[in-house]
């Protein structure tokens, strides 16, 4: 008998982009050698379709599969099975299935068995019908709106698409949502019909259970995150930011400034946070606090904390963001990262900023004005003057350029002063012009002035450093340094020996000047 072979990490293809969606017709492998996906324009529906192509079973093979699934379900403790590594799980399921075939005297050819085993893997080890989609590097979101309606996905390249996956019965969908909850280490039922959690791979799940909550029955939305977070150079290559923006964040983080990243849902707030966390000095201690695990920081001296929901009535066993954040300041952090600010934890966060703990967080808001209003009104209800501890706000946004949907850092605004009435004096240091798709950099930075006074540096020294780091980042992009570990090594090495890194990339240190440097790319100053 041949050893079962399943490649769950096939090569990531280079997918073509199309101006005209009706011309899209691509196919690539998701789980080799069993599953591929066909993305094409459906002329009948007038929409783009994401068609998962799994092995086709004959009626006899379906009957054998059903028999094996019943028998395996009686023999295997799935909760214990999924605690092993994937290769061990596959090997164990293979041996158990072959043993059952022999004991039940089932007649199965090796070719048929391989097809049948894929479904055993999918339903016992994987996530049933969506297992192949979960293995697709390009998928950002998976959305189920209830039974008898197709699943929808959001693709990194081709964006929103309908799939060929449908849960035909309420019972099947309910059972699968229960499975999702189990994989998150949580519980969902008619009594507790809402689920927020994270899968072992870090994907975030929101689900509902009963028809009382959603008329179409159980629903779920899965936000997938890449195993390796995006690094700053990848954001440059996508045009999300420009080198000067990243150099600005690099300096702010080195000198322990406070940054809030705002934006709408799925605008790229967490992606930007992960990317700029590259610039935190390698020796610094970082404590992060989240509702559900999304952050993935490339460092060893990092203490990640996740809030825990209550185990029953009376909020028994609950550990909320507020409690975690209060506790974090006793853990001697150099930097505190809060995944998202929503409520009373904002008061502790801003008190921490005021006491000298450098903090980074995200928040749902589409502008600085909206953000300050949210912070000043219930349920957060901060004193306006406490907002002065914030150094800058970065606003992420969705954009459509040349029929391509992209994410952009719309503007970076420095908080100069907020009075008791909540009137804000700000300085927009960077802004993005959607008409011409260019970034603009202002000639004066209040935060650089603040750093100059606090750390005894001259403005000349800060601008020179800003220029050198902008050039280095631009050079990394130009030379296509996209590897996660490679970029991290260069950034860490720069903290230790900047001259050696600059020499390696042939970047010259120019004479001092109080004038901001010219942009290193094709961006403009104003």
What string of DSSP letters covers 227-292? SSPPPHHHHHHTTSS-HHHHHHHHHHHHTT--EEEEESTTSSHHHHHHHHGGGS-TTS-EEEEESS
Tens-digit pLDDT profile for residues 201-221? 889 899 999 888 888 899 999
Contact 146, 166 (CB under 8 A): no
Q: What is the CATH number of domain 138-227?
A: 3.30.450.380
Q: Distance (Å, rounded) from C-alpha 65 to C-alpha 300?
A: 45
pLDDT of 200 strictly over 90: no
Q: Where are the domains of the chain?
A: 1-137, 138-227, 232-442
Tens-digit pLDDT profile for residues 449-484? 999 999 999 999 999 999 999 999 999 999 999 998
Tens-digit pLDDT profile for residues 24-43? 999 999 999 999 999 999 99
Tens-digit pLDDT profile for residues 503-514? 999 998 765 555
- DSSP annotation of 129 reads G
User: How would residue 525 be classed by pLDDT, with cut points 50, 70 and 90?
Assistant: very low
**Residue 405: its pLDDT value, please?**
78
| CATH number, domain 1-137, options 3.90.550.10, 3.40.50.300, 3.30.450.380, 3.40.50.10490 | 3.30.450.380
Higher pLDDT, 81 or 330: 330
For domain 232-442, give the CATH superfamily.
P-loop containing nucleotide triphosphate hydrolases (3.40.50.300)
- DSSP annotation of 506 reads T
Give me the residues paired with residue 194 across strands: 208
Backbone angles phi, psi at 319, to 5 degrees: -125, 105
| Number of Cβ atoms within 10 Å of the Cβ of 104 | 11
Q: Distance (Å, rounded) from C-alpha 276 to C-alpha 270?
A: 10
In the chain, the percentage of residues whose pLDDT exceeds 90 is: 62
Helices 321-328 & 345-354 angle (0-180, nearest 10)? 20
Q: Please determine whether the domains at 1-137 and 138-227 fall in the same fold group of CATH.
A: yes
User: How would residue 526 be classed by pLDDT, with cut points 50, 70 and 90?
Assistant: very low
pLDDT of 312 strictly over 70: no
Higher pLDDT, 227 or 194: 194
- Strand 335-338 with 286-290, pairing: parallel
Beta strands in 438-518 (DSSP E): 438-441
Closest CA to 224 of 199, 247, 249, 207: 199
pTM here?
Answer: 0.80
């Amino acid at each position: 008998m041949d050893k079962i072979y399943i490649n769950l990490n096939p090569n990531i293809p280079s997918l073509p982009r199309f101006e005209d969606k009706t011309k899209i017709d691509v196919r690539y492998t998701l789980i080799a050698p069993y599953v591929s996906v066909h993305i094409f324009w459906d002329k009948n529906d007038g929409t783009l379709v994401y068609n998962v192509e799994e092995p086709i079973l004959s009626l006899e093979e379906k009957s054998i599969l059903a028999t094996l699934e019943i028998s395996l379900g009686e023999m295997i403790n799935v909760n214990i099975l999924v605690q092993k590594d994937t290769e061990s799980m596959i090997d164990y399921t293979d041996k158990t299935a072959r043993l059952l075939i022999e004991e039940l005297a089932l007649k199965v050819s090796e070719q048929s068995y391989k097809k049948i085993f894929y479904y055993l893997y999918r339903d016992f080890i994987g996530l049933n019908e969506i297992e192949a989609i979960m293995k697709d590097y390009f998928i950002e979101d998976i959305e189920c709106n209830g039974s008898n309606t197709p699943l929808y996905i959001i693709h990194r390249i081709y964006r929103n698409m309908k799939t060929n996956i449908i849960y035909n019965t309420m019972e099947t969908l309910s059972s699968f949502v229960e499975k999702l909850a189990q994989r998150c280490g949580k519980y969902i039922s008619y009594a507790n019909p809402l689920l927020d959690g994270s899968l072992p791979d870090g994907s975030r799940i929101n689900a509902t259970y009963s028809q009382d909550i959603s008329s179409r029955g159980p629903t779920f939305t899965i936000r997938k995150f890449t195993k390796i977070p995006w690094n700053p150079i990848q954001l440059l290559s996508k045009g999300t930011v420009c080198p000067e923006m990243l150099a600005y964040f690099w300096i702010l983080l080195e000198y322990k400034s406070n940054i809030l990243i705002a934006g709408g849902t799925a605008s790229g707030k967490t992606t930007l946070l992960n990317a700029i966390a590259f610039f935190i000095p390698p020796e610094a201690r970082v404590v992060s606090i989240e509702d559900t695990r999304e952050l993935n920081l490339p460092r060893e001296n990092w203490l990640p904390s996740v809030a825990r929901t209550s185990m029953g009535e009376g909020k028994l066993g609950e550990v909320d963001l507020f409690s975690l954040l209060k506790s974090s300041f006793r853990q001697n952090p150099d930097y505190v990262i809060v995944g998202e600010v929503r409520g009373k934890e904002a008061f502790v966060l801003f008190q921490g900023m005021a006491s000298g703990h450098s903090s980074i967080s995200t928040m749902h808001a589409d502008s600085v004005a909206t953000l300050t209003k949210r912070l000043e009104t219930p349920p957060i209800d901060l004193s306006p003057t406490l907002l002065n501890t914030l150094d800058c706000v970065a606003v992420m946004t969705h954009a459509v350029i040349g029929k391509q949907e992209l994410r952009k850092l719309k503007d970076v605004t420095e908080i100069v002063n907020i009075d008791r009435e909540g009137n804000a004096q700000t300085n927009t240091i960077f802004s993005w012009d959607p008409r011409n798709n260019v970034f603009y950099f202002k000639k004066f930075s209040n935060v650089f002035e603040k750093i100059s006074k606090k750390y005894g540096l001259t403005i000349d020294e800060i601008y020179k450093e800003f220029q050198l780091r902008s050039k280095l980042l631009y050079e990394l992009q130009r030379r296509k340094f996209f590897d996660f570990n490679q970029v991290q090594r260069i950034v860490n090495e720069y903290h230790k020996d900047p001259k050696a890194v600059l020499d390696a990339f042939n970047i010259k240190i120019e004479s001092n000047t109080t004038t901001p440097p010219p942009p290193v790319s094709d961006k403009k100053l104003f």
